[in-house]
Structure 1
């Protein structure tokens, strides 16, 4: 019997519908529709909750974040004197621009574009359309002319982004063969307990990149050669996982290492077996955690609507390309997870602190994504940006404090060792791989018009 135990974040969107639509420049007949950055945060939060409900894998979740943000960015910055269009900067993105007029509310158009694209990417469309329609009703009553003009502008961009999105090879990868398991090769990935799930997204490297030249542009150097000889580099890394996790378990459930591992777990679907029952705990992905940090930084700096959309867009593009880069290496190296080897050759009773996710080991996805996202946020908000990470509060985990985005990324990466799910090379070289993704983005994408 399968039952679901899901914890939902208390979202702001219902309150925002009632409280955060403010009036300005009142006339006798209609009122100006004012859109705040809090409303954008609320809409991103609402999409995140739907993604948790629908259970999307980390790579797919990154795709769901990136396209709505790009649509919002383009609708918002049509004719902007500060922000530059991403048209002809991202791969195969060529947009026709909207003829902006004074009757159009760009912030409103941006939010409409976001929701229109987002609904095409999720299973539970009704959860988003219901949210959207409630907002539409409020906006239409405030100023029907402004709403209609803004809606035209928003849909002008969303329709083009959807068309571009639908040509990124995602649909084709849905029909490609499952990952081939080579059962006679001890170095190759095998399904792991408790669910022994098939490897997810083995063809993600075929998804069109956003700014990378190719999925393999930042192919990391090879991991240590597989060997179970005691003096080999690979065996040393395997023993590090085993000994570190044994030491952590001896310290007990309250150890700092376990706190770090659980805080950065970000496994969207954890199976827990109790007798004949299997429970599923659903939560956010690694990309969602960094999107949450982006929100924290925006709110902490009181970023206006324009900077907020810019931050989400830039961060989500980095995360999306990071997943493509990482998954390209995962299924090239196809490396076995520590759990498989430890149970077979060292200790059949050993269990990792975290549940091993269902895909090959090298490189570490969270490390690559954290490297890219942390560099992106540092570029936007500056180094030594101190913040309290409250992202995991809805899942019963306490706040963690960080002195910078880079320090948060380092902790996220090493959490995979503490969790018993990655070797050292996947962690360290994964961070570098993600940092290289950011460097490429920083060279290739210009967000600001020259003065």
Structure 2
């Protein structure tokens, strides 16, 4: 009888002691991981900018980590389904063990960071961010078993996502021939001031995420090159020339706000230096992040949004680059200097790739179409993306308005003819709508 009383007392004592020990404090953890994905994308952007990735490559870097983040967080909502079977080549991903407990915001973060780290040059910077977040999670008192389970599952997800990414043709493209410059007056050739060689001439060989092929939404060829003054092409070039000469203050601000050239070169005397900026895709990823923070979106919606926008932007660049190197059209700066005014300069530095279609028009409208689907037609927002790069905020009444402004900014900047802008808008909208139609992340 005494032994029984002792055992009962011992059990009570153990329960009391365990009640006093540190707990898995979900409230503190949830508060710490609130807006986590927006924060991770901003930190990834800092690395992308510093590493000077081109716009197409940057779009790929945003897409894969955000897909991994979604796959790591979706289990918080039992109605959400995987991208498996919906994205090209993504046939399987590891699932959580039903006999183990996880903290899915941590799973999501680890998956995002591990994938992101593998896609950039500055691996140490991404690794350091992850270590700091893990340290904070431990200090907040996360249960060790749950912590270990979450880390392992996040790493397994990342490994599987990276295995899928490795088969998209990214590495293979480097073995393909370089772009060949010819004497054809209508064909693109390097432009001032640094005459860079053509960027990513084989980007259309990258596996799309949702598109059936790189040319699924081909917008059609540009106006036929013709240097005679009465030709339609000459008139399109004249429009660029006259537009830049007559820009007002607001139009100049618009051109500079949407410049998003990752690496602008400036020459002073005999010295050339470079100024790094966010990419066009990065700009729209930041718009999405801002909206999610304004909405105080739950982590599942945040991951769904960032992954869908990332996919839209990535497929937009694959589609756009397919047409760029199909038409290989000369830029306005080259044509105007040769046939209209040898001293004319655009407002923006001409990017180092063919003209048709406008990458900003395609990517912006693909992203805006997805965001409109998620948040509505008349979602007004203030875009502060360019503040870190020395530019003021701009306000928009809708995602559509912002994407239209991004598109026309290329005419104001003097780097695109109007058809590349207008056809690029349609191309982007078709891509965005296709992605919305094809991907279903909600259980029927």
2: CA distance between counterparts of 1:30 and 1:132? 23
Q: Are 2:40 and 1:43 equivalent residues in the alignment? A: yes
SS in 1 for 2:35: helix
Name the structure 1 match of 2:4. Answer: none
* Structure holding more helix per residue: 2
Q: Trace 1:284-303 onto structure 2 (pairs within 5 A).
A: 284-303=278-297
Q: Deviations over 1:391-443 (max 9, x none)?
A: 11111111111000000000000000000000000000001001111121122
2: CA distance between counterparts of 1:130 and 1:188? 45
Note the residue ranges of structure 1 that are not aligned, 5 or more in a row: 1-25
Name the structure 2 match of 1:202. Answer: 201
Name the structure 2 match of 1:58. Answer: 55
Structure-1-length-normalised TM-score: 0.91
Q: Deviations over 1:16-75 (max 9, x none)?
A: xxxxxxxxxx97233333353322211111110011110000000000000001111111
Change in Cα spacing, 1:291 to 1:101, as seen in structure 2 (3 Å) is farther
Q: What's the Cα RMSD here? A: 1.3
**Would you say the 8 A contact 1:392–1:398 is kept in 2?**
yes
2: CA distance between counterparts of 1:237 and 1:27? 76
**Would you say the 8 A contact 2:73–2:299 is kept in 1?**
no
Name the structure 2 match of 1:107. Answer: 105
2: CA distance between counterparts of 1:437 and 1:296? 23
SS in 1 for 2:86: coil
Q: CA deviation at 1:98?
A: 2.4
1: CA distance between counterparts of 2:122 and 2:100? 35
**Would you say the 8 A contact 2:100–2:149 is kept in 1?**
no
SS in 2 for 1:139: helix
2: CA distance between counterparts of 1:323 and 1:412? 15
Q: CA deviation at 1:102?
A: 5.8
Name the structure 2 match of 1:241. Answer: 240
Which shifted more, 140-149 or 237-246?
140-149
SS in 2 for 1:174: helix
Change in Cα spacing, 1:309 to 1:428, as seen in structure 2 (3 Å) is same
Q: Trace 1:257-272 onto structure 2 (pairs within 5 A).
A: 257-272=251-266
Name the structure 2 match of 1:87. Answer: 84
SS in 2 for 1:440: helix
Name the structure 2 match of 1:178. Answer: 178
2: CA distance between counterparts of 1:442 and 1:397? 32
Note the residue ranges of structure 2 that are not aligned, 5 or more in a row: 1-18
Change in Cα spacing, 1:363 to 1:100, as seen in structure 2 (3 Å) is farther
Q: Trace 1:19-418 onto structure 2 (pairs within 5 A).
A: 28-32=21-25, 33-34=29-30, 35-78=32-75, 80-95=77-92, 96-101=94-99, 103-141=101-139, 142-143=141-142, 144-182=144-182, 184-248=183-247, 251=248, 255-418=249-412
When the two structures are aligned, how many residues end up with a matched partner?
419
Structure-2-length-normalised TM-score: 0.92
Structure 1 moving runs of 4+ over 4 Å: none
Whose radius of gyration is greater, 1 or 2?
2
**Would you say the 8 A contact 1:371–1:409 is kept in 2?**
yes
